[in-house]
Amino acid sequence: MVFAGISYVRGLQAQSVTVHAMTQAQMKAWSGAEALRQFLFHLKAKDLEQLSLGSPVQFAGLEGVEAKVSRAPSDDPINCKDGKVVGFEISGSSGGASTLLANDFCLKPAKSTVSSPKAVINIRGDLSLRGNIEVLGGDKAKVLVDGKVVGSGSLSGISFLQAKGDVELSGSSSNGIVFSEQNILLSGSGSYNALQAMGNIQLSGTVSAASAIANGAISLRGNQVTDLRAIGPVTLAGDATVGMLRTKSNVHHQGVKLVNQAFVEGDYLHERYGPVNGGQYRGQLSGPSRAENRMTRNPNLLLDIPALTPATLDTPTFDAYPYKSMANYVFERQGGDTKVTVRSVSHVLDGTYFLVGSGGNQDYLCTSNRYSPSSCVAKICTGYSDYNSCFQFDAASQTWKINGAKDANKSISTMVPGVLWFEGNVEAGTGNYHNTWLATGNLKTQGEHLSYSVNYADYAWVCKSSRYSRLAPSNFCLPGQAELQSVSAGNICFGAGGVKDGNYLGGKITLAASAEVFGDVVAGDILETGGSTVIHGFISAANLGSTGDGSSLKASTRVDLSNLPKSFQPGEHKPAASSLLVTLLWSRYQ
């Protein structure tokens, strides 16, 4: 059987830069191996049966390369658990020389590399909220924290906050439901629909709540609660106001404006001022101000106050490495050179190129490691001037630093649109970007940075770019269509961190200065915001790294989920269901 053509180029003219002094024939064989891997990645699982033993492969755009199936798809529970192993013999020939390369690949159904959280903010570890924090998005404004939450300043727009640890909020807050598996401590001002704690609830300032429910104790100091239910004791002080009070323990009345009704299984100590208009108690009513208490004794009073129980949190995670094969541009360092592997870009053959420049010609993809018009196929970034490159690489910190021209028109992109993948750390600086940024290390923004994830950006910006019209990411821009083809990775604007040699590396995302982000922010470790930050998408931080610190949102941070384009699906990052995860098991020369 002859398969459909596979297009791939690897820059075969540059023999001087081949690894381990490979011959041209060996280079061609390895080019064929990479082309096959790309072909397998896009193959649907149901089409594996086409790979019968001995079937030949045709390569379009790659001369001197032939291949055939040497091992039909078969089970290998040791080397490829839950998948299939398929083998190829690939021959490369050049100038009368030839070589035969045998490769075995493991093919597995693609799995999600990031959970799809149902919350706009999903944090593993502690979360610090400082400054002016605003969440817009109606019933989608849900926050999950697998740790402690500490906040001050202005906090608004959260419909549901759920935490494994304590929730301590001060300042001005206006939110919906707060649930803690530990304690809730609120001060300052703010109003809530419901407070629910498996531990204690302590309110002060002018905080008010429609309901407050606790497995432990509840303490009010000048607060208003319409419906109060506690398994533990209740303390009322500082002109507190309660509509309905129910507790299976005791009440210490230290001064209130009003308690309308109270039902108490234990004792009621009416120590200071404030009326109780009615209700029942089971134990004793005492205290110097008990004359203001109109409750009656019921020795058989039993209250049904169910205990709150833990809820399951959807734990986030992230690993950049499985996304490498989904990226339009993969940036890696090899010796002193920058290599860029290109996939699914119109007018550029899939393959690996050098990123080079000279004089007024900067940031070109070329088949050799020196700029020349004959070997360079595309310019992928626009610097501050024709003589400035967008890219700097700091070898000591393994950090890519990207800065370029920022046009007043947001539709004019600094970088070629598409999914970008970097080996190492990234500092995304000044410019307008219509890109998904993925880094195996840490990632932070600098300067006047504006980023749209590919799925969030407008079709015309990505597929008809005024600056890069010939370089459309073809997996997002299908022929004959006038709207973006959503690709799951394109929902991410920033993703950082990855597993290498069994260790989790990087994963810290820092949004600094005046950053505006259109798309999801997915940190494998922690997230920090500062300055004036706006995020139009979901946030998650998996706390998988070694920083030991929690995530923090501070200064002015706004998370806005209003008016999202239909091509953007926040929280959905899994690879396409029809794709395969392809891993090279082993290679050898025959």
Nearest residue to 378 via CA among 336, 326, 328: 328
Distance in angstroms (rounded) separating the CA atoms of residues 540 and 498:
15
Q: What is the pLDDT along the chain (590 residues), one digit of tens a residue?
A: 334 334 333 333 333 334 333 467 787 887 788 778 767 876 777 778 788 899 898 776 567 889 999 999 999 998 898 889 999 999 988 888 888 989 998 888 765 444 444 689 999 999 999 888 899 876 668 899 999 999 988 888 888 999 999 999 998 887 889 999 999 999 989 899 999 999 999 999 999 999 999 999 999 999 999 999 999 999 999 999 999 999 999 999 999 999 999 999 999 999 999 999 999 999 999 999 999 999 999 999 999 999 999 988 888 999 999 999 899 999 999 989 999 999 999 999 999 999 999 999 999 999 999 999 999 999 999 999 999 999 999 999 999 999 999 999 999 999 999 999 999 999 999 999 999 999 999 999 998 899 999 999 999 999 999 999 999 999 999 887 888 999 999 999 999 999 888 889 999 999 987 789 999 999 999 999 988 899 999 999 999 987 777 999 988 899 999 999 999 999 988 754 446 777 778 888 87
Amino acid at 314: D
- CA-CA-CA-CA torsion sign (54, 60, 61, 64): positive
**E strand intervals along 463-525:** 492-496, 498-500, 503-505, 509-511, 516-518, 520-523
pTM as predicted? 0.78
Neighbours of 316 (CB within 10 A): 26
Q: What is the pLDDT of residue 131?
A: 85
Distance in angstroms (rounded) separating the CA atoms of residues 417 and 405:
15
Q: What is the pLDDT of residue 19?
A: 37
Are 346 and 436 contacting, i.e. CB atoms less than 8 angstroms apart?
A: no
Tokens of 139: 């019933």
Q: What is the pLDDT of residue 482?
A: 86
Burial of 456 (0-12, 13-18, 19+ CB in 10 A): buried
Q: How many CA atoms lie within 13 A of 6 on its CB side?
A: 25
- CA-CA-CA-CA torsion sign (455, 457, 463, 469): negative
Nearest residue to 299 via CA among 261, 259, 266: 266
Residue 580 phi, psi (nearest 5): -120, 150
Nearest residue to 521 via CA among 577, 448, 439: 439
Q: What is the pLDDT of residue 330?
A: 97
**Beta carbons within 8 Å of 151's beta carbon, 6+ residues apart:** 128, 129, 130, 133, 168, 169, 170, 171, 173
Question: Which residues partner with 513 through β-bridges?
Answer: none
Are 103 and 582 contacting, i.e. CB atoms less than 8 angstroms apart?
A: no
Q: C-alpha 408: how far from its chain's center?
A: 28
Instruction: Report the SS3 class of residue 268.
Output: strand
Angle CA 288–292–293, to nearest 5: 95
Question: Which residues partner with 130 through β-bridges?
Answer: none
Tokens of 353: 């190129």
Helix, strand and coil content of the chain, in percent to the nearest 5, comes to 10, 45, 45
Element (H, E) at 74: strand 65-76
Element (H, E) at 459: helix 459-463
The torsion region of residue 218 among left (phi > 0), alpha (psi -120 to 50) and beta comes to beta
Instruction: Report the SS3 class of residue 138.
Output: helix
Burial of 396 (0-12, 13-18, 19+ CB in 10 A): exposed
Are 353 and 367 contacting, i.e. CB atoms less than 8 angstroms apart?
A: yes
